[in-house]
Amino acid sequence: MTGASGRTALVTGASRGIGRAVAERLAAEGAYVVVHYGSRKDAAEETVAAIRRSGGQAFALRAELGVDGDVDTLFAGLEEALAGRPLDILVNNAAFIDYGATIDAVTPDAYERQFATNVRAPLFVTQRALRLMTDGGRIINISSGVTWFATPEIVYAMTKGALNVFSRSLARTLGPRGITVNTVSPGITGTDMNDWLRDPDATRRVAGMTALGRPGEPADIGDVVAFLASDDARWITGQTIEVNGGLYLG
Ligand code: NDP
Q: What is the pLDDT of residues 120-146, one digit of tens each?
A: 999 999 999 999 999 999 999 999 999
Contacts of 67 (CB under 8 A, 6+ apart): 116
Q: CB-side exposure of 98: number of CA atoms within 13 Å?
A: 23
Q: Whose CA is nearest to atom 39 of ligand 1?
A: 189
Neighbours of 55 (CB within 10 A): 9
| Catalytic status, residue 111 | no
Q: Where are the domains of the chain?
A: 8-243
Pocket residue to mutate for ligand 1, from 24, 34, 37, most atoms within 8 A of Cβ: 37
The CATH fold assigned to 8-243 is Rossmann fold (3.40.50)
Cβ atoms of 146 and 156 within 8 Å: the answer is yes
Name the amino acid, one letter, at 43. A
Tell me the torsion sign for CA atoms 85, 40, 120, 95: positive
| Cα–Cα distance for residue pair 226/25, rounded to 1 Å | 7
Torsion of the alpha carbons at 66, 71, 72 and 77, rounded to the nearest 10: 110
Per-residue pLDDT of the chain in tens (250 residues, 90 and over written 9): 677 889 999 999 999 999 999 999 999 999 999 999 999 999 999 999 999 999 999 999 999 999 999 999 999 999 999 999 999 999 999 999 999 999 999 999 999 999 999 999 999 999 999 999 999 999 999 999 999 999 999 999 999 999 999 999 999 999 999 999 999 999 999 999 999 999 999 999 999 999 999 999 999 999 999 999 999 999 999 999 999 999 999 8
Distance between Cα 243 and ligand 1 center (Å): 16
